[in-house]
Amino acid sequence: MRALVFHRPWEMAVEDRPEPEPGPSDCLLEIIATGTGGIVTVNPVIGCGHCPACAAGAAQRCPDRKVIGVRAEISSAFAERMVAPTHKVVPLPVGTPADVGSLVEPLAVGHHAVQRADLTGDDTVLVVGGGPIGQAAALAARRLGGTTVVVAELDAVRSDLLTRLGFDTADPATQSTDEIMAVLGGRASVVVDAVGTSRTLQTALDTSALGARIVLVGMAVPRVEISAYAVSTEERTILGSFSYDEAGFRETAEWASAHAAELEPLVDARVDLAEAPETFRSLANGELRASKVLVYPSGSPVTGADA
Ligand SMILES: NC(=O)c1ccc[n+]([C@@H]2O[C@H](COP(=O)([O-])OP(=O)(O)OC[C@H]3O[C@@H](n4cnc5c(N)ncnc54)[C@H](O)[C@@H]3O)[C@@H](O)[C@H]2O)c1
């Protein structure tokens, strides 16, 4: 079968690979290009299955977790077919558009990040970074009841997308802390940092209230510098967030299936497998300023031209 193979940065190719062999507890999945059948999506976080975290449905906290699409040795979805453990396969309601199936994973990351803050109906939420993860966090914050949800984003194309999703935006490069707080209508009680740098954490501290919860889901750099007194003396809490738990993934899948129209702005383009190496290259070098491009290994009725 054909599969997209990553050799090293800037070098990807579509190559023939052996058919994946399902084991007794696996499913063989056809990576689809149709939105009309009964379809499934896959929770790609695989735990050991034995530890307390796995037993609690929180494989993201399993010390031996593996993530499909991250670990090169595991069959993954940039290919015509893949295998996945059957218990990780999440059926979607009949009629769910194929796009939605592939959006569930990033949407679940954003949902989990917001859940980590124990959002209430009184919370004012600032999401820093409006890429796919920030978009997902903003959608989740709105859905879980935040009174105000604002996204801070530097890139005008992404800010436009966020406006189309119905969010107010701010630009930390050109707007002061006071101006961002004016968009928020005060200080944020919850900030989701969907970038993960010293600078974005500083924005989170500067714009949030005493006692605020700051969720660090962005992973742009492995080490950050932080204004320690803004955490200690003002009692802010910093919460880590990684992927999602089983329940949150399934809940997000159900919600996404029922809100396909609301999610349409998230997808900028669809390409087939043969176009994938060039698409990755042009996204990485900035020629293509898309937010989310979906790869349809078997081709799509709208492939390519809508990029
Ligand atoms: N913790 C997890 O489980 C998890 C899962 C997936 C992705 N991630 C991480 O989340 C981060 C975001 O992912 P993404 O796909 O949205 O990335 P992305 O690069 O597509 O988007 C990041 C956005 O942040 C904006 N940005 C950068 N600096 C900013 C600043 N100072 N202020 C405001 N906006 C700023 C950029 O313009 C961009 O639009 C990445 O670091 C990724 O590795 C974490």
Q: What is the pLDDT of residue 38?
A: 86
| Ligand 1 atom 19: residue of nearest CA | 131
Between the CA of 272 and the centroid of ligand 1 the distance, in Å, is 25
Which residue of 155, 191, 219, 238 sits with most ligand 1 atoms within 8 Å of its CB, as the best mutation to test the pocket? 219
Q: What is the pLDDT of residue 41?
A: 93
How many CA atoms lie within 13 Å of 227's alpha carbon, on the beta-carbon side? 14
* Tokens (6 digits) for 81: 């077919």
- pTM summary value: 0.93
- 168 with 183: CB under 8 angstroms? yes
Q: What is the pLDDT of residue 300?
A: 62
Q: What is the pLDDT of residue 32?
A: 67
Could you identify the atom of ligand 1 that is nearest to the CA of residue 152? 33
Determine which helix (DSSP H) or strand (DSSP E) holds 271, and give its type and residue range.
strand 269-272
3-state SS, residue 178 = helix
Between the CA of 59 and the centroid of ligand 1 the distance, in Å, is 23
Between the CA of 194 and the centroid of ligand 1 the distance, in Å, is 5
Beta-bridged to residue 149, according to DSSP, are: 125
Q: What is the pLDDT of residue 51?
A: 98
Q: What is the pLDDT of residue 258?
A: 96
Could you identify the atom of ligand 1 that is nearest to the CA of residue 134? 16
**DSSP character at residue 248:** H
Beta-bridged to residue 93, according to DSSP, are: none
| Ligand 1 atom 16: residue of nearest CA | 131
Could you identify the atom of ligand 1 that is nearest to the CA of residue 242? 3
Neighbours of 10 (CB within 10 A): 10
What is the DSSP track for 89-143? EEEE-TT--HHHHHHHHHHHHHHHHHHHTT--TT-EEEEE--SHHHHHHHHHHHH
The pocket around ligand 1, CB under 6 angstroms, is made up of 109, 128-134, 152-155, 158, 172, 194-196, 199-200, 217-220, 241-243
Q: What is the pLDDT of residue 105?
A: 95
Between the CA of 151 and the centroid of ligand 1 the distance, in Å, is 12
Nearest to 240 by CA among 117, 120, 69, 132: 117
Residue 102, C-beta contacts closer than 8 angstroms, at least 6 positions apart: 41, 77, 294
Which residue of 107, 133, 268 sits with most ligand 1 atoms within 8 Å of its CB, as the best mutation to test the pocket? 133
Could you identify the atom of ligand 1 that is nearest to the CA of residue 106? 6
pLDDT tens digits, the chain, 307 residues: what are they?
888 888 877 888 888 988 988 999 899 988 764 334 488 899 999 999 999 999 999 999 999 999 998 888 887 888 888 899 999 999 999 888 889 999 999 999 999 999 999 999 999 999 999 999 999 999 999 999 878 999 999 999 999 999 999 999 999 999 999 999 999 999 999 999 999 999 999 999 999 999 999 999 999 999 999 999 999 999 999 999 999 999 999 999 999 999 999 999 999 989 998 999 999 999 999 999 898 999 898 776 554 334 3
Dihedral, CA of residue 174, residue 177, residue 182 and residue 185, to nearest 10: 140
